[in-house]
């Protein structure tokens, strides 16, 4: 009788061993997944910490400071408007430092924008930017009596790529007649810039007044590279 039951005992033993092996395998798989998740959490935490350090470092970078004292702005002539930045610097009305005590006044950029319905009156905007690309600005309103057309260029020295298209209109910021009218379309240039040939071209832009016997010339240096 005992011999008849031997196969059944062996089968049960094999089944038990199989189950034990599966349980051990499942335990190892779960342990591996948990370890992977823990590693991912650690990596995510490290990245967040690095970003926080970068933000802290960035917040510690000083911003430049620009100073504009309008009380020191003198009475301006028409010619003074073309050199406004240097006029204000010379009288101590305009200055800038990089946030660390270094004078960067020469690095100030500026521009003029006509004030609507006020002949010879302009909004002057000044900007300084340090090496960390942090910036500071200041503005004021200036005016002068116009006795000839006001021809203000965005730049006096420009560089263009070889074989590019060159147009003087790209550099005309303001062309205003003495009565305040816009005469941009009447600005002309007799000189020629050959962008097919590298070199430096000194050209003259000019415009005539429509209400008086006056004209204005401005020079533009174009370098073709």
Alpha-carbon distance of 89 to 71, in angstroms, equals 13
Q: Tell me, what's the pLDDT at 21?
A: 82
> Which H/E stretch holds residue 82?
helix 78-82
Q: Tell me, what's the pLDDT at 37?
A: 54
Q: Tell me, what's the pLDDT at 58?
A: 53
Position of tokens 């008849």? 4
Token readout for 154 is 């965005």
Range 150-224: architecture per CATH: Sandwich (2.60)
Alpha-carbon distance of 124 to 110, in angstroms, equals 7
CATH code of 65-143, in short, is 2.60.40
pTM of the predicted model, to two decimals?
Answer: 0.69
Q: Strands 109-114 and 121-129: what pairing?
A: antiparallel
Strand runs labelled E in 69-183 = 94-97, 109-114, 121-129, 135-143, 150-153, 157-160, 172-176
Q: Tell me, what's the pLDDT at 49?
A: 53
Q: Tell me, what's the pLDDT at 46?
A: 46
Q: Using alpha carbons only, how large is the chain's radius of gyration in Å?
A: 37
Q: Tell me, what's the pLDDT at 142?
A: 98
Ordered mean pLDDT values, 10 residues apiece, the chain (225 residues):
58 77 74 56 46 56 93 96 97 95 95 95 95 92 97 95 93 96 94 93 96 96 96
């Amino acid at each position: 009788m005992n011999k008849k039951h031997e196969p059944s005992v062996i089968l049960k033993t094999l089944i038990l061993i199989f189950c034990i092996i599966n349980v051990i395998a499942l335990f190892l798989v779960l342990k591996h997944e948990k370890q992977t998740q823990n590693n991912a959490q650690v990596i995510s935490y490290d990245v967040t910490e690095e970003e926080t350090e970068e933000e802290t470092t960035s917040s510690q970078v000083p911003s430049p400071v620009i100073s504009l004292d309008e009380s020191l702005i003198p009475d301006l002539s028409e010619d003074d408007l073309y050199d406004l930045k240097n006029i204000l610097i010379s009288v101590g009305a305009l200055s800038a430092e990089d946030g660390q005590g270094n004078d960067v006044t020469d690095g100030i950029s500026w521009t003029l924008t006509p004030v609507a319905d006020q002949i010879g009156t302009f909004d002057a905007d000044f900007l300084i930017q340090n090496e960390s690309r942090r910036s500071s600005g200041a503005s004021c309103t200036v005016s002068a009596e116009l006795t000839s057309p006001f021809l203000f260029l965005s730049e006096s020295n420009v560089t263009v790529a070889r074989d590019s298209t060159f147009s003087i209109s790209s550099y005309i910021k303001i062309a205003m007649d003495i009565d305040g009218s816009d005469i941009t379309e009447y600005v002309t240039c007799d000189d020629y810039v050959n962008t097919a040939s590298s070199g430096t071209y000194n050209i003259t832009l000019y415009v005539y007044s429509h209400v008086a016997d006056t004209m204005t010339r401005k020079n533009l240096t174009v370098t073709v590279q």
